[in-house]
Amino acid sequence: MTTQTPHTYDFATLQDDARTLVQQGKVRRNEPIYTLLAHLPEREHSSFERELSCHEYLLRDRIADLIPQERWQND
């Protein structure tokens, strides 16, 4: 029997995952960060929360605070 090791999130991965979910329309930028947990396996929640805490984010903060603004270049 093998057990899966929980995924360890780094902050850049966490931001990329959040950005992807926003772009796919699965979450909105104005929703709290905790809504992202619905898209992660439960075994990864503690790693996700730990990484947020290390960067001084709370689960009640908005997803928009987590992902930097997209920058558009003028053509």
Model confidence over 9-65: pLDDT tens digits? Answer: 789 989 999 999 999 999 999 999 999 999 988 998 999 999 999 999 999 999 999
pTM of the model: 0.78
CA–CA dist 17, 23 (Å, integer): 10
The answer as to whether 15 is a domain residue is yes
Is the distance from CB of 37 to CB of 45 less than 8 angstroms? Answer: yes
Identify the domain containing residue 59 by its residue range: 11-66
pLDDT in tens, 56-70: 999 999 999 999 775
The answer as to whether 1 is a domain residue is no
Is the distance from CB of 61 to CB of 32 less than 8 angstroms? Answer: yes
The answer as to whether 58 is a domain residue is yes
